[in-house]
Amino acid sequence: MSTPPRDRDQNRDRGRDRNAEATVPPLTRIIRDALDRLRAFDRRRPRVWDAALTGFWTVAAVLDYTSGGWRTTAHDNVTAPELLVLLMSLGFSLPLLWRRTHPLPVLLLMAPISVVNIWTGAVVQASLLQLIPVFQIVLRCSFRTVGAAALVFVVPVLSGGVRIPATWGQEVVSYVWGLVFVILLGIAVRTRREYTEALVERAHRLERERDQQARLAAADERTRIAREMHDIIGHNLSVITGLADGGAYAAGKNPERAGQALEAIGTTSRQALSELRRLLGVLRDDHPDAERTPQPTLDELAPLIERVRGAGLPVHLELTGSPTPHALTPGRQLTVYRVVQEALTNTLKHATAPTSATVTLTYSRTHLEARITDTGTGVGRAAETEEPPPAAQGIMGMRERAALYDGSLEAGPLPDHTGWQVQLRLPLEESHS
């Protein structure tokens, strides 16, 4: 059983991914996989991750208070009671639970605590946790908001440096450098994230465009196949119908002619089956050795006209001018052949009076004109100009074929209403050079 084209593309993409994966160093692959798992967990349960991070920093802040570690950074003139130090440690850590959903309000909530922390001289280390919402602001907000957040962080530190000059060389400088580092880190992460998202979006857009192009190509191919099958089946069935009618009429009077008609029916049927097998065989992916006989060319016009004559329609072929070598590509020759075939088939199907047809091919320096006329009349001819629901049938199919090569096709009654004509005008290959 054959594999659909889209599945083949996906298998090829997976093969490329495996090859690219094999070139990644093992340590890099382990770190990347771990980060991918963390991000996936964060996307599935963001609240759990926020609570875990908040709990970690809260425990660290409380341990810093209970162990007295904050006293190593406090100044000699500390005026803050220990309960206030505990409350400040909790005030810097607990709001981190909302650091991603409301980073700016969290930072604003920490700002007065930072003022008290600096002015009392306690300088608890948990105050550096303000840099976490600053990082989130850099990732998610405009640069104007980032500037405002930087001021909210720096102003309490500078005011503390004014009140306690001894903090200027230690806390103030370290806080400012920490702020600069976090902002630069946030900009780098944000830039990389936006770049990655742009690449992913571009890949998705290219995939959608590829799928759309595949669907359009499949639709065009279905239309082409429908045209070919319509021309093959319609023409041969019309010829068979004409032969069968003639054979039935001659059966009683001229058995020999009836036998000839039956023989012609058999020949035409076998030819139609052969063409259909060739067309359908090429479409099967599991038959790579399917027969690929070339499509009909202008050299096949004479046998075509002979078959139509055998069906009871007198046809006369006229040539004006002579084609230059290789003037028409195989596709253009197929177009002319199918238009002549369809026009003669319509004459067999719709003409109700004694009819004859003429096929005239006129070559000029830049164009080929094919004019197919007949002397048939009757109400059935009106059906030829109607466009049936399938877009690739009848006159519509002939016009589509002509349009493929910048040609034009007109069909309608003759000016004197004595018959019908189909006129194809097709540019030669040289006219596009």
| Mean of pLDDT over the chain | 77
Q: Are 372 and 343 in contact (CB under 8 A)?
A: yes
Runs of H (alpha helix) within 252-312: 255-283, 301-310
Q: What pLDDT, on the 0 to 100 scale, is given for residue 415?
A: 83
Question: What pLDDT sits at residue 359?
Answer: 92
In DSSP terms, which residues pair with 319 in a beta bridge?
361
The Cα–Cα gap between 409 and 387 comes to 14
pLDDT at 382: 45
Among 210, 239, 269, which residue terminates a domain? 210
Q: How far apart are CA 233 and CA 272, in angstroms?
A: 7
Q: What is the average pLDDT across 216-231? A: 71
126-131's contacts with Cβ under 8 Å and 24+ in sequence apart are 126/57, 126/60, 126/61, 126/64, 126/88, 126/89, 126/92, 126/93, 127/88, 127/92, 128/175, 128/178, 129/57, 129/61, 129/92, 129/93, 129/96, 130/92, 131/178, 131/179, 131/182
Same domain membership, residue 72 and residue 194: yes
Domain count across the chain: 2
Two tokens at 385?
């100009």
406 pLDDT more than 90: no
Q: How confident is the model at residue 115 (pLDDT cuts 50, 70, 90)?
A: confident
Give the pLDDT of residue 78. 62
Residue 105, domain member (yes or no): yes
* Residue where one domain finishes, among candidates 210, 236, 257: 210
Mean pLDDT, rounded, for 129-157: 89
pLDDT band at 8 (very low <50, low <70, confident <90, very high): low
Phi first, then psi, for residue 333 (nearest 5°) are: -65, -40
Could you tell me the strand order of the sheet in which 420-427 lies?
A: 315-320, 357-363, 367-374, 420-427, 408-413
321 confidence band (pLDDT: 50, 70, 90): confident
Mapping DSSP to helix (H, G, I), strand (E, B) and coil, where does residue 319 land?
A: strand
Kindly report, residue by residue over 289-312, the tens digit of the pLDDT.
544 555 778 888 888 888 888 777
Q: Which residue has the higher pLDDT, 221 or 364?
A: 364
d(CA 89, CA 32): 34
Region class of 326: left (phi > 0), else alpha (psi between -120 and 50), else beta: left
Would 38 be classed as within a structural domain?
Answer: yes
Is position 264 within any domain?
no
Task: Using the CB atoms, write b or e for 264-287: b if 16+ within 10 Å.
Answer: bbeebeeebeebeeebeeeeeeee
Residue given tokens 């209970």 in the structure block: 66
Same domain, 80 and 197: yes
Mean pLDDT for 246-270 is 67
Does 122 fall in a domain? yes
Report how far residue 433's alpha carbon sits from residue 414's, in angstroms, rounded to the nearest whole number: 35
In a domain, 42, yes or no: yes
| 31 plus 171 within the same structural domain | yes
Question: Bigger pLDDT: 408 or 163?
Answer: 408
pLDDT at residue 1, as a whole number = 43
Residue with tokens 């409350």: 87
DSSP per-residue codes, 323-373: PPTT-S-HHHHHHHHHHHHHHHHHHHHH--SS--EEEEEEE-SSEEEEEEE
> Over pLDDT 70: what percentage of the chain?
67
Identify the pLDDT of residue 108.
92
Q: Kindly indicate the confidence band of residue 181, based on its pLDDT and cuts at 50, 70 and 90.
A: very high
DSSP 85-144: HHHHHHHHHGGGGGTTTSHHHHHHHHHHHHHHHHHHT---GGGGGGHHHHHHHHHHS-HH
Return the top range by mean pLDDT from 9-23, 157-171, 375-389: 157-171
d(CA 169, CA 58): 28
Mean pLDDT computed over 3-26: 57
Statement to judge: residues 198 and 311 lie in one domain: no
- CATH code, domain carrying 345: 3.30.565.10
* Residue 424 located in a structural domain: yes
Domain final residue, candidates 210, 230, 250: 210
More confident of the two residues 350 and 51: 51
Question: Which of 84-93, 287-296, 322-331 comes out lowest in average pLDDT?
Answer: 287-296
- List, in order, residues 6 or more apart from 69 with CB less than 8 Å away: 63, 125
Give 380's pLDDT tier (boundaries 50, 70, 90): very low
Q: Are residues 177 and 320 in the same domain?
A: no
Residue 124, pLDDT above cutoff 50: yes
- Checking if the pLDDT of 273 tops 80, the result is no
The amino acid that residue 374 corresponds to is D
Q: In the chain, what's the furthest Cα-to-Cα distance?
A: 134
Average pLDDT of the residues in 77-104: 85
Q: What is the pLDDT of residue 360?
A: 92
Tokens of 408: 């034009």
Average the pLDDT over 401-419 and give the result: 85
CA atoms within 13 A of residue 375's CA, in its CB half-sphere: 10
Quick one: pLDDT at residue 391? Answer: 32
- Position of tokens 């094999």? 22
Q: Judge whether 227 lies within some domain.
A: no
Q: Which residue has the higher pLDDT, 433 or 320?
A: 320
Range of the domain at 128: 5-210
Q: What token pair was written down for 426?
A: 């097709």
Q: What is the pLDDT of residue 79?
A: 64
- Clarify whether residues 300 and 199 are in a common domain: no
Question: pLDDT tens for residues 184-193?
Answer: 999 999 999 8
pLDDT of residue 279: 63
Residue 309 lies in a domain: yes
**DSSP string across 144-206:** HHHHHHHHHHHHHHHHHHHH-GGGIIIIIHHHHHHHHHHHHHHHHHHHHHHHHHHHHHHHHHH
Give me the pLDDT at residue 7, please: 54
